[in-house]
Amino acid sequence: MVRVPSTARQADSTWHFRFDKRISNSGYNERVMGESDHWKTKREVLVRDGVCIIEDILDAPLLDSVRRIAAEKISQLSDKHRAAQKSTGSMLANRDLPELVDLITWPRTLQALHRLEFEDVQFSRAYLISKPPHSPPLFWHQDCTMWSGEPRAYSETTPQLFAMFYLTDTTRENGCLRVIPGSHHRRHQLHDQIGIAHTAETRRMDDPGSPLYAESEDQVDVLALAGDLVLGDGRTLHASHANRSGHERTVITIWYHPMFSELQESTQAQISNLAQAEIEFWPQVAKDAIGPLAANYRGSAAALPRDRIPGTELH
């Protein structure tokens, strides 16, 4: 592992077929299906529903290391930061977390993406997001910022993936992920209710009665175990439940962009500008470690303006 100076598996018995009851638990059990069928099924679920779980991606040493890094950073959060991120809990970008380079470049994650037929993968940003005990829900949102001008925003092949690594097993009680299956391909009423979603007012939860925080009859809970990879299409509407437990619930979210060179050059520029800004002040050892995984478009196209609101093409 690269060292950067730092400033129990209890499986849920229902999640694995919760998105689609046509898929049984055995469909996800590597002991009863061939490896090629296993990855084919994972991809089918991801393409259809917008999220899937790849089990046991992190080994114990890396998981323990990330937990220590996260605990140190969380202990340093100010009351002001927590108030500004009441709904989110915390939002620490990787520009302040070069220690996460081992997680961002973890070979087993990149191998999983390859097996899911995602090639030419580039990284743009990572976040440490942690909901404190007895904290409210995370607002509904989606992560895509290229709805205006990038054709792949409306195609089957996503321009952006989120890779979530929860540092504890998640339940509805401690604020597990919730998603609207299929919302990466089909318009949902929430698209027209939440607007841009990512605003200071939304993060502060100025209006607790807003649809941004409400339950949806179409939502599905995603119950992950520590060390699993929760992989999602960045266009999928997602949120989290309130953390009603007495413990911090922490996740590291990483953005990857598959088939990067097939994106419009203006989109490549947008992604690269973000990626390079996030690692600009990293120690050289961390920059060397992330190497060519960080998006770095070298052409002359102007960056596509960031746009989080889907157009009429999503219907």
Domains, the chain, with CATH or none: 51-293 (2.60.120.620)
* CA distance linking residue 241 with residue 87, whole number of Å: 10
pLDDT tens track for 88-114? 999 999 999 999 999 999 999 999 999
* Residue 19 confidence (pLDDT) above 50: no
Beta strands in 110-246 (DSSP E): 122-131, 138-141, 161-166, 177-179, 220-222, 229-233, 238-240
pLDDT tens track for 171-213? 999 999 999 999 999 999 999 999 899 999 999 999 999 999 9
pLDDT score, position 35:
80
Contacts of 298 (CB under 8 A, 6+ apart): none
Amino acid (1-letter code) at residue 280: E
Strand, helix or coil for residue 301:
coil
pLDDT score, position 34:
62
* Residue 225 confidence (pLDDT) above 60: yes
Q: What is the pTM of this model?
A: 0.90
pLDDT tens track for 265-284? 999 999 999 999 999 999 99
pLDDT score, position 6:
36
pLDDT score, position 5:
39
* Residue 9 confidence (pLDDT) above 60: no
Q: Torsions phi, psi of 174, nearest 5?
A: -100, 15
Beta strands in the chain (DSSP E): 51-54, 92-93, 122-131, 138-141, 161-166, 177-179, 220-222, 229-233, 238-240, 249-257
pLDDT tens track for 65-81? 999 999 999 999 999 99
* CA distance linking residue 158 with residue 184, whole number of Å: 9
Residue pointed to by tokens 């500008």? 273
